[in-house]
């Protein structure tokens, strides 16, 4: 049976997440870059912005274009041509972020400014 | 009460126990610890440090890999912060569930100076067992731990089985330690709790081996990398022994600054203490603290 098995061995789930109504701010450059990446899939796909542990400062941003998963657990923000989803579990960390897109000869890319962050890593991908 | 090393004794520890399950559980945990745990095989244990973005220790625990699940035993004092970091750091699309296993699973630490005879009572061949490898026996897991003074075996046991394990231990002439005796033993063994380690750098605590400089970014990684390239720390964790009482707190050292005592116990006129000392050019074997002599030994993780 083992130490983690057996009948009656159920444990409480650790759930301690604050959920807030999310507001996101995109620059025109960011919307333009996303529109380009969507490449005609705006009807069926959405942008999901999320946060996960990692990086030098504690948390990392992640942005994914995926097939619309529906609203289960997500907050949907309509930014015109397409929808952006933020999961409830990330809402307090991502509420109020400003998303910009910068093109430079050294690569460029999306840049996120987070008013909830006390600090951020030099690379801009990690915050805490 | 005596200040002797632990002999045939055991202690039921009051730690925070967290079960992390799902295909991404080891990944989620690996992202927040300074120790590489991704290469852990099944049925293994490894100590790991949790550090803040300044590289300072905020928790200290042991990771156990058990049939695709991960058991984390960490300090009770910091369990809120560590569990919150785990929950907040799990991405919406990761397969990872974090469960509170406090009061469901206990860790019993057993010490013996004649382990060959004593531990064979559990069907464990202590001397042929590899350190940090989990040995499954019934509903229990045994793991041999490195210890500088005597042999140590940890047992992970379900709460329902704690009393039956205690009966077996009693039959083998092991004596249960109370928390005061445990405090004495762990100070003698130089085994730090989170109270000793909190806010210090791993290298200062002699825990540099728990920092994996090749694992990529994790909280505190930049600071740890800088310390590694600089090659030394200003302070070091140490054990003090003397004939005068020594209170927990900051004290002055004659001729060389100060020392911060984090654990101290005095019985029969002998004091043992754990402290963070600011090292000079040539660390001394005897330091004078508030006018009294104490022998000093620098400590490092075994």
Mode of pairing for the β-strands spanning A83-87 and B16-21: unpaired
* Residue A43: per-residue pLDDT: 87
Nearest to A11 among B32, B94, B101 (CB): B101
* Residue A54: per-residue pLDDT: 87
* Residue A39: per-residue pLDDT: 82
Residues 69-108 of A with CB under 8 A from B: 73-74, 87, 89-90, 93
- For residue B278, the SS3 value is strand
Nearest to A54 among B19, B217, B222 (CB): B217
Any bridge partners for residue B71, and if so which? Answer: B19, B64
Nearest to B66 among A4, A59, A128 (CB): A4
Shortest CA distance from A66: residue in chain B:
B93
Q: Do A89 and B136 touch (CB under 8 A)?
A: no
pLDDT per residue as tens digits for the range B236-276: 999 999 999 999 999 988 877 789 999 999 988 999 999 99
Is ipTM strictly over 0.90? Answer: no
Give the CA distances from residue A113 to residues A23, A44, A98, B107, in Å, rounded to whole numbers and listed in that order. Answer: 13, 28, 5, 44
* Residue B5: per-residue pLDDT: 60
* Residue A22: per-residue pLDDT: 94
Helix/strand/coil percent split, chain B, to 5: 20, 35, 40
Q: Does A58 touch chain B (CB under 8 A)?
A: yes
Q: Does B147 touch chain A (CB under 8 A)?
A: no
CA A96 to mean position of chain CA atoms: 12
Shortest CA distance from A15: residue in chain B:
B87
Q: Does A116 touch chain B (CB under 8 A)?
A: no
CATH code for the structural domain at A25-127 = 2.60.300.12
Partners of B217 on chain A (C-beta within 8 Å) are 54-56, 121, 126
* Residue B41: per-residue pLDDT: 96
Q: Do A54 and B31 touch (CB under 8 A)?
A: yes
Sequential pLDDT tens for chain A (128 residues): 677 876 546 688 887 778 999 999 999 999 999 998 888 888 899 999 999 998 888 899 999 999 999 888 999 999 888 899 999 999 999 999 999 998 887 777 888 999 998 887 776 678 88
Q: Does A53 touch chain B (CB under 8 A)?
A: yes
* Residue B150: per-residue pLDDT: 67
Q: Do A14 and B87 touch (CB under 8 A)?
A: yes
CA dihedral over B184, B185, B188, B191, signed as positive or negative: negative
Sequential pLDDT tens for chain B (302 residues): 454 666 789 999 999 999 999 999 999 999 999 999 999 999 999 999 999 999 999 999 999 999 999 999 999 999 999 999 999 999 999 999 999 999 999 999 998 876 566 777 777 777 788 889 999 888 899 999 876 656 788 999 999 999 999 999 998 889 999 999 999 888 988 889 999 999 999 999 999 999 999 998 899 998 999 888 887 788 999 999 999 999 999 998 887 778 999 999 998 899 999 999 987 766 778 999 988 999 999 998 76
What DSSP line would sit under chain A, residue for residue?
--TT-STT----B-----------EE-HHHHHHHHHHHTT-TTTEEEEEEEEEETTTEEEEEEEEEE---STTEEEEE-SSSEEEEEGGGHHHHTT-EEEEE--TT--EEEEE-TT-S-B-TTSSEE-
Closest-CA residue to B19 (of B58, B73, B82, B59): B73
Partners of A57 on chain B (C-beta within 8 Å) are 53, 219
Mode of pairing for the β-strands spanning B175-176 and B9-13: parallel
pLDDT per residue as tens digits for the range B25-54: 999 999 999 999 999 999 999 999 999 999
Q: Does B55 touch chain A (CB under 8 A)?
A: no
> What residue ranges do the domains of chain A occupy?
25-127
Are A79 and A26 in contact by the 8 Å Cβ rule? The answer is: yes
Q: Do B91 and A62 touch (CB under 8 A)?
A: yes
Q: Do B71 and A87 touch (CB under 8 A)?
A: no
> What residue ranges do the domains of chain B occupy?
8-230, 234-302
* Residue A55: per-residue pLDDT: 87
Q: Does A47 touch chain B (CB under 8 A)?
A: no
Q: Do A3 and B31 touch (CB under 8 A)?
A: no
Q: Do B217 and A6 touch (CB under 8 A)?
A: no
In angstroms, rounded to a whole number, what is the distance separating the alpha carbons of residues B279 and A117? 36
Mode of pairing for the β-strands spanning A98-102 and A25-26: parallel
Shortest CA distance from B99: residue in chain A:
A13
CATH superfamily of B8-230: Probable tRNA modification gtpase trme; domain 1 (3.30.1360.120)
Give the gyration radius of chain B's Cα atoms.
20
* Residue B247: per-residue pLDDT: 95
């Amino acid at each position: 049976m083992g130490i983690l098995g057996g009948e009656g061995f159920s444990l409480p789930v650790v759930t301690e997440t604050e959920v807030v109504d999310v507001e996101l701010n995109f620059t025109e450059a960011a919307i333009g870059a996303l529109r380009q990446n969507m490449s005609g899939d705006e009807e069926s796909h959405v942008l999901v912005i999320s946060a996960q542990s990692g990086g030098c400062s504690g948390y990392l941003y992640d942005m994914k274009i995926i097939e619309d998963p529906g609203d289960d657990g997500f907050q949907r923000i309509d930014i015109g041509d397409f929808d952006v989803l933020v999961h409830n579990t990330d809402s307090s960390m991502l509420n109020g972020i400003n998303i910009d897109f910068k093109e430079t000869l050294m690569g460029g890319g999306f840049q996120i400014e987070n008013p909830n962050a006390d600090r951020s890593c030099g690379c801009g991908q990690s915050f805490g | 009460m005596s200040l002797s090393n632990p002999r045939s004794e055991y202690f039921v520890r009051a730690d925070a126990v967290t079960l992390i399950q799902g295909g991404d559980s080891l990944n989620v945990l690996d992202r927040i610890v300074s120790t590489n745990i991704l290469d852990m095989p099944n049925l293994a244990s490894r100590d790991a440090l949790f550090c803040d973005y300044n590289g300072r220790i905020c928790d200290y625990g042991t990771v156990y890999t058990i049939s695709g699940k991960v058991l984390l035993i960490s300090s009770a004092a910091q369990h809120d912060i560590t569990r919150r970091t785990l929950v907040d750091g799990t991405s919406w699309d990761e397969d990872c569930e974090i469960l509170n296993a406090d009061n469901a699973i206990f860790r019993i630490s057993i010490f013996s100076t004649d382990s060959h005879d004593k531990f064979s009572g559990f069907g464990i061949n202590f001397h042929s067992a590899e350190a940090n490898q989990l040995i499954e026996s019934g509903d229990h897991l045994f793991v041999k731990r490195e210890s500088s003074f005597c042999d140590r075996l940890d047992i992970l046991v379900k709460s329902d089985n704690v009393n039956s394990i205690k009966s077996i231990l009693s039959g083998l002439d092991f004596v249960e330690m109370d928390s005061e005796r445990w405090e004495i033993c762990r100070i003698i063994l130089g085994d730090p709790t989170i109270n000793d380690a909190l806010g210090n750098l791993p290298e200062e605590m002699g825990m540099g081996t728990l920092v994996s400089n090749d694992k990529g970014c994790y909280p505190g990684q930049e600071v740890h990398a800088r310390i590694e390239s600089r090659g030394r720390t200003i302070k070091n964790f140490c054990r003090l022994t003397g004939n005068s009482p020594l209170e927990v707190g900051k004290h002055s050292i004659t001729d060389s600054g100060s020392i911060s005592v984090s654990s101290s116990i005095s019985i029969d006129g002998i004091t043992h203490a754990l402290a963070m000392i600011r090292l000079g050019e040539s660390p001394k074997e005897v330091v004078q603290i508030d006018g009294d002599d104490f022998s000093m030994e620098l400590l490092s993780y075994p």
